[in-house]
Every structure is written in structure tokens, then in C-alpha cells.
Chain A
Amino acid sequence: MSAITSKDFTPLANDRDMTDVIVRPSVSYWKDVFRRIRTDKVAVISFVVIAVIALFAIFAPVVCAYDYDTTNMTQTNLSPGGDHWFGTDSLGRDLWARVWVGARISLMIGLCGAIVPQLVGILLGGVAGYFGGWIDMLIMRIIDVGACIPSLIYVTLIMLYFGSGPAAIVLAIAMSFWMDSARVVRGRMLQFKNREFVLAARTQGASSFRIIFRHILPNILGQQVVSISSAIPSAIFLEAYLSFIGLGVASPMTSWGQLCQLGASYYRLYPYQLFIPGAFISVTILAFYIFGNCLRDALDPHLRD
């Protein structure tokens, strides 16, 4: 009790600020997300892996001494090392060059294949959820039926119909992925549509457009970014799969999946022709996958302790 003396019993001024004393500095949501990502070692490592692969995909073919589609019948099936860092294939093409050209295609398809269906899903799911009524009915029935059709069938039909090329692959991926994201977005839309802040905006006369883009979408966005990042590895995988079974990218153009397909025919003699591109696919998918998980944790911190 020694610290307290009688003169401590003078009342404090009554006009002092009694409102919130904020102890923690306020940080904007995205800044906070960025801070969490940056301090997460696993996230940083996976991001660096992705960045390195992307940079090589962009620049390696440019500075490489060999062309990705020049055949050289005097130098077929060379083992990795020497002039050809990853060796050559059965037509004598330099695999280092082909792997990085293939990386371009695989990554592009991965990105587009993740973003395109997401956009379609946001649009259709958003419309269904926001407006409800017969539009919602229609879209949901289409999804009900569409979701029952195995993705394999869309993919086969589209690839056969439109021929094999990057655009057709993206279309095929989009066809099999958009329904999930439309469902999710519709659900989120329904959830937010009747939230107080949306009703408040509506009573103030905000237009549907404004309500959707200014009030609801920003709340859904985080989740959709996570969906995109987790769809990238699936899209890369699907491209590789299609190319591997011969429905995807065709020679002389190349992608990792197609390199694997070519490599698979000779892999008992020349395992590197299959396992090098195979390793690239695996590592890339792994890195995207882990990064996507970290991103999800960062956006939604209550999921971890």
C-alpha cells in the first residue's frame, strides 16, 4: 500500500478521452495478410521456387544455345551433361530447351485454367445468388446435372472437337472446374446478401451494381484468391494428364505432360527423358499447393491457432 498516498485520491479530469484506447495499431486486412505470408518460412520458400521456375520459363529459352524444336539425328538420346544439360530426346532435340518451353505452356495453362473458370464461376454464381428466382433455378439445375457428368467426358469431347491446343485445354479445364466455384460463390453471395451492411447500403439507395462490387465482392474476394491458387496445381496436373494420354499439346509444340509422354516410350532405356519433366511437374505442383495452403492460412488466420 506504500505506493498509494492520500494525494493520489484526487479525481481525474472528467473531460478526458474515455473512448477506445487502441493498444494494437490498426493494420489493413491485406497488409496483415502480406505480413503473415512474409513471416511464414514455408510460404516464402514455395514462392521462391515458383518464381525461379517462372523466371527460367521466361528467359531460359531465349538464352539457350539450342532451339526447342530443332532435331539433330546425330545426337539422339544423349544423357544429361556436357553440352545438353538435360540430354536430348529420340529426335536429338535439346531437353533443357524443351523443358523450359514446356514450362511456359504448362504454367500458362495452369494460370489460365485456374482463372478462367473462377471468373465464370464468380459471374454465374454471383448472378444466381444475388438475383435468385428463375435465374438461380436455371443455373443451379444446370450445375446439378453438369456436376454429375464426369469431367473426363467434357475433356474428351472438347479435346476431340476443338483439336489439341492450349486454348482447348483451358476450355476443357474451365468446363470441369467452373461449377464448383459457381456453387461456392453463390453460397457466399446468399450469405452476404442479407447481412446488415448490405441492407444498410440498400436502404441508402445503392444500386445492385454498387452493392455487388463495392460491398459483397470485396468480402468474397479473399476466398476466391485462395480458390484460384489451389486450382493452379489442379490445372497444371490436368494439362499434364491430357498431354500424357495424347489428348493435349501435340508435337512440335511441347509441355511438361507431353515431354513425359514422349519420355515414357523410352524411359526404360533413358529414364531421364521421363523423370526430368516429371520432377518439374511434381515440384511445381507441390510449390503451388503449399503456397496455396499458406495463403489460405494467412487470409483466414483463425484456422490456425
Chain B
Amino acid sequence: MKEHLLEVRDLRVSFDTYAGEVQAVRGVNFYLDSGETLAIVGESGCGKSVSVQTMMRLLPMPPARLKSGEIIYEGKDIAPLTDKEMENYRGKEFAMIFQDSMTSLNPTMRVGNQMCEGIVRHRKVSKEEARKIAVDMLGQVGIPNPEAAFRRYPHTMSGGQRQRVMIAMALSCNPKILIADEPTTALDVTMQAQILDIMNRLKDIHHTAIILITHDLGVVAQMADRIAVMYAGEIMESGDARQVFYQPSHPYTWGLLGAMPNLIQDVKSQLYTIPGTPPDLYAPPVGCPFAARCEYAMEACLKEEPPEFAVEGGHTSRCWLLDPRAPQVTPPEGIPALKKGGNDHE
């Protein structure tokens, strides 16, 4: 088996609240190869942010708790590392950018100094050199007059500029993985396109792999090589972007794709919506977590969690419909018929 840059196996994270245990992530597996972009897609609260923040060890523990799982980076499991040891990975090997650039930058520190902190820490350079690197990075993300921008405070910049600063800051130590948690959600559409463009461009220059977390399938289409669809703390479907977009094999993915407005679509046709809300993770359901909202649900779905079925070439889906014994169903309009990949993957 080929070694991946990053491989996450059976990740389980819970939050201990005074009302009980919330199982935010319930056995997630995914991998990332260098230079590729993996998009993790799902509704808010599905555990996508929690998964990557666990990887970065950013969650306050307690209340968060890593119940099990391996996070294998370059062949080494980093889950058991101490917080101190993790400092050498954060920022240097994986960097992260967040949704709200206003609150993610320290309001009382000049942006340049905030950038230099990480550079001095990881690249072991003098303050003066760090400054040069920072200014250069600011230029690379397309901030006009980077020298002046270096000395500015976050609140004097626009949202788009701040997000550029975040990207410059994240990439300033040449990380191998860039984790972008809803990087464009807080921006308007034209700015979104520019930011995504910068990320794509810099990714190629620096050979950075990206984990992109989003609920916006438009962003996914523009960026992703591979997609993982998450629901209720589990990955429901994953595969190459083409596979997931053109041969979606899980009713939840159908719902997500159907809910996306489409310019070519007949104006009169209604947007598809998924009824109901995700399950409460205080008490996750026994069977498939999506069963309660699924039009295609069967008895089996309520009884037992579906295993991971292989569709074709690395494309997998956790849905009983892919079981050979399941009846043939007609997916919603515009989505091709389900291809049963045959045998159980496990």
C-alpha cells in the first residue's frame, strides 16, 4: 500500500458537557496525498471542523476528548504526541486559516508582527529576515504595497485583505498541508473567487496539499481533487471530485447536489431540499444517521450502520442501497442511476 502524506484512521472525538457526552466525530477515515486538495463537505455541526482541529490539536481538552484514532503524518502517528511536541508541527508542517479573518487576527498587534512570530519560530531566522519573508509573502498574496501593509493593524484592512494576510501567514513557513476552514464563507462572491484563485496558485508554487472545509459545493467544484462528504460525525461518501459530482452514490450527497441552484436548470423546477435536521449527537441513532431524513430508507438502515461500500476506484459510500440485496432505486432527476460496485469493501 502506498504511503500517504497524511492518513487519519478511525478518529473519534467527543465533548464532555454537563448535559452529557456529545459524539462530534464518530470514526472518520481519510487520507491526503501531497499537492492535492481534499474538500470535506457537510452541514454545520457535522464534525468537519472538529476533525481537522483535532488533527491540529487546537481544541481545548477538556471539554474535547480524543477517544480513539490514529493521525499518521509522513508515516508517524502524531495523535499520541505531547502538546509541546505538536508545536513543531503546527504552523510548520500544517498551517490553518479560519473563516472569520476579523476575529482570527490579534486586534492589538500589527499584521506583520503576527506573521513574523511564526516565521521566527519555525524558520529559525533573525527578525530582519523574517520581516523580508513576511513582506514577500504579503506581495505573493496580492496585497498592494506590502511594506505598508506589514505595519498595519487588522481592523484597518478590508475582509478580503485580512483573509489574504491569513493565507500569507499560513504559507510563510512552507507547510506541507494547508487547512482552510470555510475560508471564503465570510466574504462576498467576487472576493471569494480571488481568494480561491490565490490559494490555487500558491498551492502549485509551494506544492502544498490543502484540506478545504466548506459547505459550499461551488467552492468545492472550483478547488477539490477529492471530496469527503460528512454527516453527523461520519464520512458518508468519499472519492475523486469527478466521481462524487457525476456519480454520487449516497442519498445525502444527492440531497446536497440537488439543493445547489443550477443556472442551466429549468427556472420553474423547484430546488431540492433535505427534510428535517441532523440527529442530536448526544444520542446518535443506532442505524444510519441519515435514515430519518432519507427518502430511500429501508428497514436495514434503522437496524445497523451501513459499512463502507466500494463504488469504483477508491470511491466509497456508506449506504445500504449499495448492498447487492437492496432494491434498485431511481435517484432524483439529473443524477445518474446507482452503480453497485459489488462486494462489501470491508
A residues whose Cβ falls under 8 Å from a Cβ of B: 1, 3-4, 6-12, 14, 18-21, 23-24, 304-305
Contacts and interface: CB of A to CB of B under 8 A. Distances in A.
Contact of B282 (A9, A14, A21, A23): A23
Contacts of B302: 12
A9 B295 contact: no
Contacts of A10: 298-299, 327
Given A3-B303, A4-B304, A21-B279, A9 B323 contact: yes
A1 to B, nearest CB: 8
A162 B340 CA distance: 90
Interface of B: 17-18, 62-63, 275-277, 279-280, 282-283, 292-293, 295-304, 320, 323, 325-327, 329, 344
6 contacts: A3-B304, A9-B325, A11-B329, A18-B276, A18-B293, A304-B18
A23 B62 CA distance: 25
A8 B276 contact: no
A9 B299 CA distance: 6
Contacts of A4: 300, 303-304, 320, 323
Given A3-B303, A6-B325, A24 B282 contact: yes
A304 B16 CA distance: 12
B280 A24 contact: yes
Contacts of A23: 279-280, 282-283
A11 B300 CA distance: 9
Say what secondary structure dominates the interface of chain B.
Answer: loop
B44 to A, nearest CB: 16
Nearest to B280: A23
Contacts of A9: 298-300, 320, 323, 325-327
Contacts of A11: 296-298, 327, 329
A57 B303 CA distance: 64
A12 B326 CA distance: 12
Given A9-B327, A11-B297, 10 more contacts: A4-B303, A8-B300, A9-B300, A12-B297, A18-B276, A18-B292, A19-B276, A21-B279, A23-B279, A305-B17
A21 B294 CA distance: 13
A8 B288 CA distance: 14
Nearest to A18: B275
A233 to B, nearest CB: 27
**6 nearest interchain CB pairs?**
A8-B300, A23-B280, A18-B275, A8-B299, A12-B297, A6-B325
B194 to A, nearest CB: 30
A4 B306 CA distance: 10
Contacts of B280: 23-24
Nearest to B346: A1
B267 to A, nearest CB: 27
Given A9-B323, A9-B325, A305 B62 contact: yes
A262 B160 CA distance: 67
A1 B344 CA distance: 10
A14 B251 CA distance: 14
Nearest to A22: B280
A305 B304 CA distance: 33
Given A3-B303, A21-B276, A305 B63 contact: yes
Contacts of B276: 18-21
A147 B127 CA distance: 45
A14 B293 CA distance: 10
A9 B302 CA distance: 11
A305 B18 contact: yes
Contacts of A3: 303-304
| Residue from B296, B298, B302 having most chain A Cβ neighbours under 10 A | B298
Contact of A8 (B18, B277, B295, B298): B298
Contacts of A18: 275-276, 292-293, 295
Contacts of B295: 14, 18
A9 B326 CA distance: 5
Contacts of B298: 8-12
Contacts of A20: 276-277
Nearest to B300: A8
Contacts of B300: 4, 8-9
B297 A19 contact: no
A285 B182 CA distance: 48
B303 A8 contact: yes
A1 B326 CA distance: 14
B233 to A, nearest CB: 15
B345 to A, nearest CB: 12
Contact of B292 (A1, A21, A304, A305): A21
Contact of A12 (B277, B299, B329): B299
Nearest to A39: B18
Contacts of B275: 18-19
Nearest to B297: A12
Nearest to B283: A23
A107 to B, nearest CB: 33
A54 to B, nearest CB: 30
Nearest to A7: B299
Contacts of A21: 276, 279, 292
Contacts of B299: 7-10, 12
A23 B277 CA distance: 12
| Residue from B17, B297, B329, B344 having most chain A Cβ neighbours under 10 A | B297
A289 B76 CA distance: 52
B323 to A, nearest CB: 7
A9 B304 CA distance: 12
Contacts of A7: 299
Nearest to B20: A24
A8 B302 CA distance: 10
